[in-house]
Structure 1
Amino acid sequence: MPEAGCIVVPKYLEENNEVSQECKELIPTLPKEKGWVASHLHQYQGFWHTTRQLQGVLSCQSHFQAHDTDILVVSTPKSGTTWLKAWTFSLLHRHKYHPSTQNHPLLTHNPHFLVPFLELDLYIDKPSPPDLSSLPSPRLFSTHLPYVSLPKSVTQTSCKVVYLCRDPKDAFISLWHFTNRLRPQTAGANSLHEAFQKFCRGVSLYGPFWVHVLDYWRKSLEQPEKIMFMRFEEMKLKPEFVLRELATFVGCPFSREEEEGGVVEEILKLCSFDNLSNLEVNRDGKLSSGEAHRAFFRRGEIGDWKNHLTVDMIQELNAITEEKLAHHGLRF
């Protein structure tokens, strides 16, 4: 127990936690910027990480061994990750847990608990790497890692990668709100202007956003049987169609009996923003690292950027997106 009056720092804000010798030696060699929540971000393999996350990245790169039957949910931060985890978990486990059952794990567990992050859950703050070899197949994991930083076994096996991204304007606004929720009250909030300038320079968690998205977009065109490229907007606008596509991609398409029995609709109802956000576990619970579950549920809408960004900001972000992505055939 902490001493009376002692301030308990959430793990996600810790910078002096025990890190490996490899990480200690690497950090001074990396570019460094002021963080959005934690004090610093370090640029590793072209992308930005907190000190604690960097330790997790290095550990999972060294130790995670993918299986051919694995499914890996990958996303840019604040692109609908929680929602996609709920979808994927429900799909893969629907024969054990029918989506309408009263004992479904999603009713009592946050999606981040059921589909753990490699670098943020499984390979972080551990005295030794976890033994995942005996987990039942298909194993389901998640990550925010850019393609270049994936453990080699992910790219060298036949495991499936489900990648989710979002309009960068909405992704930025959601990230700004999310990180301000996590900042200590004594630090105050990041101003919209300050956060916007960092995001545009690529200095954000797992950023640059556009490089992250573009790398997976290109790989999905080269290997469509391995990487499914998804957009948050399509999940919102045509959920039944996208859920069926996802089910087919991960190897568990809906049967005619399931279609006629309304299983698609039941999964969408179970995993809906309104349902998940109002569950007790997501209103009051916390991740082991200290983030409140409710921080992962804000609005889940398309176009919230219109309520925050100035005309100049919109034009700047659109111009960057056009330059970085549209020339490669990717538009939002």
Structure 2
Amino acid sequence: MATYPPRSGAPIPFKVIEEQEDHPSQPRLEDYDDFISTLPFEKGSVPSRKYQGFWYPEGFLPGAMAIQQRFKARPDDLFLVSFPKSGTTWLKALVFATMTRKQYPLARHPLLSLNPHDCVAYIEERFAIGQASKVEALPSPRILSTHMPYSLLQDSVAGSGCRIIYIARDPKDALVSFWHFTQKSSPKLNKIPFTEAFEAFCEGKFPFGPIWDHLLGWWRESLKRPEKVLFLKYEGLLEEPVANVKRLAEFVGCPFSEEEEEGGMVEEIVRLCSMESMKSLEVNKVRKHGPIYQFANSSFFRKGVKGDWRNHMSPEMARRLDVIIEEKLQGSGLTGWSSQA
């Protein structure tokens, strides 16, 4: 792996810390196993347990519980939060490239030799495999990723002053993307028919679901604290990537200068992090990621489009899911994903 030394004032790839021997990993967390075994269970595509109202994958649940008990955010932390397959990988790449653009020339950027998930740590996974010390060893400012609902993470971030970016996607597309992801990935996951995944999703018995509660928790917090919680829609990022990357840069405190904008820096970052660019890189063709559920890096880059649900759902299925989502989000002000739009 190429060497990316710490640079003052900018995040470094988590991979740098992960490979350092002076911050050794501890054994996998087993403190919670007896308790977890008593929780309601769903086999599904990813075996999950119901914990504090959400269905959490068994492999990640010990990490989430450890974070609740042991982790406290720093004031300059930045959290990237999402329901799975809602633009997580793309958001990691865009934010990491934006915040490190002055430290790493884009022509030799870490994202050219590392997967975005190697750059930005997924904290439930890291805590679950005993790497809490490595997360703590990351120099500030840290970029950290999580799929935790707000109600589970709130005590860990409360009062810290940290910033949070939440990315949301049309639930229909998030479901389709997740189903494809599990079909070709870790042998620890179950390959199930799409109709079975659809039924579980509609019932809320889906990994990290119900999706409507996941969305609502972070949406409401963004309304309360817009200066600290930025709520993005994947579809908006697709339609206006340049404008939204500029918005991200402003939010995280490193806005683009007039000179950078005139020189095309924003467009260069968008190109670097595009689906086409990421898919073409050797690191995303041959390597794998994930110490708990191992995935080929290529599985993180399928289509990345809007409306792929039409290739998997009948109009009746789409309307059924739309009605559920609209009822669950009613009165919140969070709209815009109807199949009739």
Q: Please say whether Structure 1 and Structure 2 have the same fold, judged by a TM-score greater than 0.5.
A: yes
Cα 1:87–1:18 shift into 2, 3 Å? closer
Which residue of 2 is the match for residue 311 of structure 1?
A: 315
1:189 counterpart (188, 191, 198): 191
- The match for 1:295 is 299
- In structure 2, the residue matched to 1:213 is 215
Call closer, same or farther: CA 1:70–1:294 in 2, change over 3 Å. Answer: same
Give the total of aligned pairs. 308
Given the alignment, which residue of 50, 56, 65 partners 1:58?
Answer: 65
Aligned to 2:233: 231
| 8 Å Cα contact 1:64/1:151 also seen in 2 | no
Aligned match of 2:74 in 60, 64, 67?
Answer: 67
Report SS of the residue matched to 2:92: helix
Say whether the 8 Å CA contact 1:198–1:204 is kept in structure 2.
yes
For 1:114, which of 108, 112, 119 is the aligned residue? 119
Q: How has the CA–CA distance of structure 1 residues 181 and 251 changed in structure 2, closer, same or farther, with 3 Å as cutoff? A: same
1:32 CA displacement: 1.2
145, 153, 160: which one pairs with 1:142?
A: 145
Does the 8 Å contact 2:45/2:190 carry over to 1? Answer: no
Deviation (angstroms), 1:135: 2.9
The one of 203, 206, 216 equivalent to 1:204 is 206
1:124-143 alignment, distance < 5 Å: 124-126=128-130, 129-143=132-146
Deviations 1:38-76 (A, max 9, x none): xx3101111111221111111222222211011000001
User: Which position in structure 1 is the counterpart of 2:157?
Assistant: 154
- Distance (whole Å) between structure 2 residues aligned to residue 297 and residue 173 of structure 1: 14
Q: Specify every segment of 5 or more residues in structure 1 that has no aligned partner in the other structure, as ranges.
A: 1-16
Q: Distance in 2 between matches of 1:170 and 1:288?
A: 23
Aligned to 2:23: none
Describe the SS at the equivalent of 1:130: helix
Match of 1:249 in 2: 251
Whole-angstrom distance in 1 between the partners of 2:28 and 2:268 = 44
* Correspondence for 1:26 among 35, 52, 55: 35
Q: Is the 8 A contact 2:44 2:192 kept in 1?
A: no
- Whether the 8 Å CA contact 1:60–1:151 is kept in 2: the answer is no
Aligned partner of 1:35 in structure 2 is 44
- Measure how far apart 1:124 and its partner are: 1.9
1:311 counterpart letter in structure 2: P
Is the Cα–Cα contact under 8 Å of residues 70 and 140 in structure 1 kept in the other structure?
A: yes
Q: What is the DSSP-based 3-state SS (H/G/I as helix, E as strand, rest coil) of the residue aligned with 1:156?
A: coil
Q: Distance in 2 between matches of 1:207 and 1:124?
A: 20
Alpha-carbon offset, residue 117 of structure 1 = 0.5
Structure-1 separation of matches of 2:156 and 2:315: 44
Q: Does 1:49 align with 2:56?
A: yes
In the alignment, is the contact (CA less than 8 A) between 2:123 and 2:135 conserved in 1?
no
Give the superposition deviation at 1:327. 2.7
- Measured at CA, do residues 181 and 158 of structure 1 come closer, stay the same or move farther in structure 2, by a change above 3 Å? same
Residues in 2 aligned to 1:35 and 1:197: alpha-carbon distance in whole angstroms: 10
Q: Give per-residue Cα distances to partners, 1:59-112, cap 9 Å, x unaligned.
A: 22222221101100000100010000000000110100132x2x2100000000
Aligned pair in 2 of structure 1 residues 165, 95: CA closer, same or farther (>3 Å)?
same
SS in 1 for 2:48: strand
1:259 is aligned with what amino acid? Answer: E
SS at match of 1:327: coil
Counterpart contact for 1:79–1:232, Cα < 8 Å: yes
Contact 2:61/2:128 (8 A) holds in 1: no
Rounded to whole Å, the distance in 2 between the matches of 1:171 and 1:68 is 31
Query: What TM-score results when the alignment is normalised by the length of structure 1?
Result: 0.89
1:84/1:119 CA distance change after superposition, 3 Å: same
In structure 2, the gaps of 5 or more residues are: 1-26, 337-341
Whole-angstrom distance in 2 between the partners of 1:253 and 1:79: 25
Specify the code of the residue in structure 1 equivalent to 2:117: H
Following the alignment from structure 1 to structure 2, what is the Cα–Cα distance between the partners of residues 61 and 141? 15
* Cα displacement (A) at 1:300: 0.3
SS of alignment partner, residue 152 of structure 1: helix
Q: Deviations over 1:116-156 (max 9, x none)?
A: 11101x21212x63154453321111000000111623122
Question: 1:265 offset after TM fit, Å?
Answer: 0.5
Alpha-carbon deviation of 1:277?
Answer: 1.1
Shifted more, 25-34 versus 313-322: the winner is 25-34
- Percent identity for Structure 1 against Structure 2: 44
Q: CA deviation at 1:35?
A: 2.8
User: In 2, are the aligned partners of 1:87 and 1:268 still within 8 Å (CA)?
Assistant: yes
Cα distance in 1 between the residues matched to 2:179 and 2:85: 9
TM-score normalised over the length of structure 2: 0.86
